[in-house]
Structure 1
């Protein structure tokens, strides 16, 4: 990275600014019985509608402003563009504190602002992109769609190298707001596979189903996932273990502690909680496995504290990576469920499905890559019947893309 010195000083203090980003363009073909994407308010499982096209997969920029050796500020912006769905805006923005390690390896870190919860082992590259494939798993695609922490994160690390150990540990706690409606889209369109992060200003189209003419008639046509309705703080706890450069493990618990029965302009509170865990293990020089699991519950109640929509959910995937020379292959297997626990007529959120993705990446240079990918989803979702679609559906997607990572 080449730091750029910002040309202004206050009391002889200089700010160092740096910029890194991603440019991702791609061609795609989706076979889904003429269904439109979940982003368009239909039940298609992919980011794009059925058919073929060219898209700006992602234009992302991460700007860092280094205030001193411990404090910095970051802003992450993203743009996405394809026919019928284009937008530009902010996805994260926070002040970052990273203390200097003590002589025995203890260090304190913190974030204040808007940031992703520490869940994904896939989306680890610039602007929350995944370097392994063109799409995120359904588990992490939901994280990118409905989850963002607005608050403070505190992390305590024990770095093993200071004591000659190959083991490092950390524990994170986040207190956050602005996530009261999170869970609505998981209920109403289910698990999806894509590469589209929700921008902080965006609202998401709610699918059409009969209960929206009855019990849910006051629900807004669009869900606002980053909204605060009850002035309560949610909690996210996470613990991490790293062994050498071979093994990384994470386990965590998320609860937005949303107050039941609140509604404002058609936006309801959804009480959402889940456990999650992730593993990354490099078992040879050229082979690595990444796995994640998640299980939890999300529900919303009427102003009379009647539980109207109530769903358990779970998701798991395993990805096998093989890389050599300029080549990289990733195979990802997924299984997902939503169990509808309520008896609301016209709003069946049951879902079961499996997905498979196979991606190949060719390295043109240190910063540029060609990627191809095949996705397959086989899912059972009764709510498709509301739009006269098949309850059981097999959907495929083919993509070829070019990615360029830049730094200044």
Structure 2
């Protein structure tokens, strides 16, 4: 079914190109980065470290992103994003986004319809707004957007209704979006088993994610049937998830968004060691221009996730939250950014050897200097102070202070 839809979509685009003019755009980012990390082995490498890079000093290709966009006169568009990483932890290249979109002309009343279908992120982030889902503010994403980058993506269809205030001499725009999706049934697994992280790596569509040495995965443990790697974009139960959201924008001043996400997974389904996780969360966010040209971004997310055994017994039952406040000031060729975060996971189940509870705070300070158009030098310091009992079961400290220093040359084209 998915293949048929894609073939029809590509065919319609080919036919459309003969009738309507098309505008094409290729853009990208090359991020070469030196990092020094003080902490545990990275979660990307199957450890419980909360940073993307392993505890060492290294130079890496942190991101090579390429974006292709085509837009036709009739409002139809196509967008494909590929990313490559060469960091010594998990070197790879692949697709991170690929979708077809539509945006109608506004009606006299100011309303217009938008639509999107394909491999997409839920439209939540206020931070990752630059090319290839990078952030212009910091090198490492917030914990919320690090989770999205790792396992909150899907094949979906989104339809939206917007009201543009300029048609009624108003500075206020409003929007409502409804999205349904598949290929997201293990969402929540990585959040449960390694917790919140600070990362700048987006999981490629073909990748799987290694788990740490969870004691409950031993032969006699409750998680013995769990695969060694989680497949974040697999479809297990053939059920649609949904995401509803609304937004308000005061042009020239700021914006606000809020929504609810539910992957609607059937937790009775297990296939080849991949369990369906019922993952739900609500969120609010705001982006505002403060006095003295300071940009403010704040987001708060709260939800729950559950996984059961094939016999129906609850194995994982977690509540979680994460929130951040970001302040950024840009002047001339400089940008200075500070981000403060608080996060937690509350383990409500009684599964032995699988304590998912954690709490912590994260602090990031970043400075960027623009050498010339598209080229930035950026330095950043990250600190995470967290408590996670599961680390003690793997021979590390439950209370841990992890630090990271980064220096990057980032070129946007």
Higher relative strand content: 1
Deviation at 1:13, TM superposition (A): 5.3
Once the two structures are superposed, the pairs formed by residues 2-401 of structure 1 within 5 Å of their partners are 11=18, 15-32=22-39, 35-213=40-218, 214-401=221-408
1:342 counterpart SS class: coil
Q: Distance in 2 between matches of 1:9 and 1:334?
A: 46
Deviation at 1:104, TM superposition (A): 2.3
Partner of 2:3: none
User: Per-residue CA shift, 1:181-212, capped at 9, x if unaligned?
Assistant: 00000000000001000011000001111110
Deviation at 1:65, TM superposition (A): 2.0
User: Per-residue CA shift, 1:75-100, capped at 9, x if unaligned?
Assistant: 11001111131110000101010100
Deviation at 1:9, TM superposition (A): 10
Moved over 6 A (4+): none
Deviation at 1:143, TM superposition (A): 0.7
User: Per-residue CA shift, 1:190-249, capped at 9, x if unaligned?
Assistant: 000010000110000011111101111010000001010110000001100000221110
Q: Distance in 2 between matches of 1:123 and 1:11?
A: 34
Structure 1 residues 157 and 286: CA distance shift in structure 2, 3 A: same
Structure 1 residues 255 and 11: CA distance shift in structure 2, 3 A: closer
TM-score of the two chains, using structure 1 as the length reference = 0.95
**Aligned residues of 2:242 and 2:262 also touching (Cα < 8 A):** yes
Deviation at 1:68, TM superposition (A): 3.2
Q: Distance in 2 between matches of 1:261 and 1:312?
A: 20
Structure 1 residues 169 and 391: CA distance shift in structure 2, 3 A: same
Structure 1 residues 11 and 114: CA distance shift in structure 2, 3 A: closer
Higher relative helix content: 2
Deviation at 1:370, TM superposition (A): 0.7
Structure 1 residues 11 and 282: CA distance shift in structure 2, 3 A: closer
2:355 counterpart SS class: coil
2:44 counterpart SS class: helix
**Segment of structure 1 superposing worse, 397-406 or 78-87:** 78-87
**Segment of structure 1 superposing worse, 17-26 or 184-193:** 17-26
Structure 1 residues 137 and 10: CA distance shift in structure 2, 3 A: closer
**Aligned residues of 2:44 and 2:89 also touching (Cα < 8 A):** no
Partner of 2:12: none
User: Per-residue CA shift, 1:108-154, capped at 9, x if unaligned?
Assistant: 00001111101111001111100101010011100110111312000
Q: Distance in 1 between matches of 2:146 and 2:266?
A: 26
